[in-house]
């Protein structure tokens, strides 16, 4: 029963209708809020342990609300692994600040088939590839790490695109000035230990990037490790802007064609059949 300012009970039939309406409304709002929070938690499909998710303090309730509408997260570059580079645009764009930069993806599958794209804006001397996070010492220059599978655009007169496990013994894939600012694609088949590389949509075919059909592509390596977390990496030593696209392009990395993996992602070039964007949805299905 309501209480008056002097402490005496007020009969319900003497309570103004507006007061009763406000009390009922407040009760309804509180009850509905409790129900909505419980429902959102029950329906959530975001893997809270995913290293690609950062929950800012004070924004948990906002994230809960977003989870019913945005339950897919794509990999980005991990800012904690970003040595000597400033990342922006949701950590899919970066620029070297000093020395040699290295950054690895926030999602590192241990099985399945995955695809991502990379573009350098101007200078040479950049590398992309795959690294075993269980074994790589993060303070080591990733290109000097023998277990990394690196595809490198070298800063020499011939603009070699090479593949090698170490900086000292790379294998030339093709020489071309056009490849310096090409958009590269990496297709990683962990289940069969293969890594394929494309430049501007053409896959490496054994002597150059001359295969438009992925079925005719030649793997640059057939000895990727299995059952270990393999992260994509980028590496460089010149102060130029670079872009990565795990299905979530950002910044000035404009996509003119709009390809997906059959359901998710937005890529410049066609994703090979059976390969997928590195995201939480596909990781749950095929990772």
Same domain, 36 and 161: no
Is 72 part of any domain?
no
pLDDT digits (tens, 9 = 90+) for 15-26: 455 554 565 556
CB 130 within 8 Å of CB 148:
yes
Same domain, 34 and 105: no
CB 191 within 8 Å of CB 112:
yes
Same domain, 143 and 115: yes
Is 4 part of any domain?
no
pLDDT at 210: 94
Q: Domain span at residue 255?
A: 79-286
More confident residue, 277 or 56: 277
Does residue 111 carry a pLDDT above 90?
yes
Percent of the chain with pLDDT over 70: 68
Same domain, 187 and 211: yes
Same domain, 55 and 98: no
Percent of residues in the chain assigned helix, strand, coil, to nearest 5: 20, 30, 50
Q: What are phi and psi of 3, to 5 degrees?
A: -115, 135
Cα separation, 262 vs 274, in Å, equals 9
Same domain, 184 and 132: yes
Is 216 part of any domain?
yes
pLDDT digits (tens, 9 = 90+) for 124-166: 677 888 888 888 777 677 766 677 777 766 655 456 677 776 5
Cα separation, 190 vs 274, in Å, equals 12
pLDDT digits (tens, 9 = 90+) for 194-211: 999 999 999 999 999 999
Same domain, 279 and 223: yes
CB 51 within 8 Å of CB 106:
yes
The model's pTM: 0.74
Does residue 178 carry a pLDDT above 80?
no
CB 285 within 8 Å of CB 112:
no
């Amino acid at each position: 029963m309501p209480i008056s300012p002097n402490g005496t009970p007020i009969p319900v039939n003497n309570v103004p209708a507006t007061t009763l309406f406000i009390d009922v409304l407040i009760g309804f709002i509180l009850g509905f809020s409790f129900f909505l929070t419980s429902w959102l938690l029950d329906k959530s499909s975001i893997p809270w342990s995913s290293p690609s998710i950062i929950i800012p303090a004070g924004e948990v309730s906002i994230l809960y609300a977003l989870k019913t509408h945005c339950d897919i997260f794509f990999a980005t570059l991990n800012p904690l692994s970003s040595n000597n580079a400033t990342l922006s645009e949701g950590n899919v764009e970066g620029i070297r600040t000093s020395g040699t930069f290295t950054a690895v993806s926030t999602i590192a599958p241990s099985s399945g088939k995955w695809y991502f794209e990379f573009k350098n804006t101007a200078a040479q001397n950049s590398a992309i590839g795959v690294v075993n996070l269980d074994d790589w010492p993060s303070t080591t220059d990733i290109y000097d790490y023998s277990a990394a599978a690196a595809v490198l655009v070298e800063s020499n007169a011939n603009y070699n695109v090479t593949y090698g496990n170490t900086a000292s013994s790379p294998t030339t894939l093709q020489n071309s000035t056009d490849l310096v600012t090409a958009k590269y694609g990496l297709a990683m088949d962990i289940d069969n230990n293969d890594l394929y590389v494309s430049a501007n949509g053409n896959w490496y075919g054994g002597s150059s990037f001359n295969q438009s059909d992925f079925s005719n592509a030649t793997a640059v390596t057939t000895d990727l490790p299995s059952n270990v977390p393999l992260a994509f990496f980028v590496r460089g030593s010149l102060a130029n802007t670079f872009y990565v696209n795990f299905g979530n392009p950002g910044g000035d990395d404009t996509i003119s064609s709009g390809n997906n993996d059959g359901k998710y992602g937005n890529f410049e070039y066609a994703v090979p059949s059976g390969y997928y964007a590195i995201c939480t949805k596909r990781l749950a299905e095929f990772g």
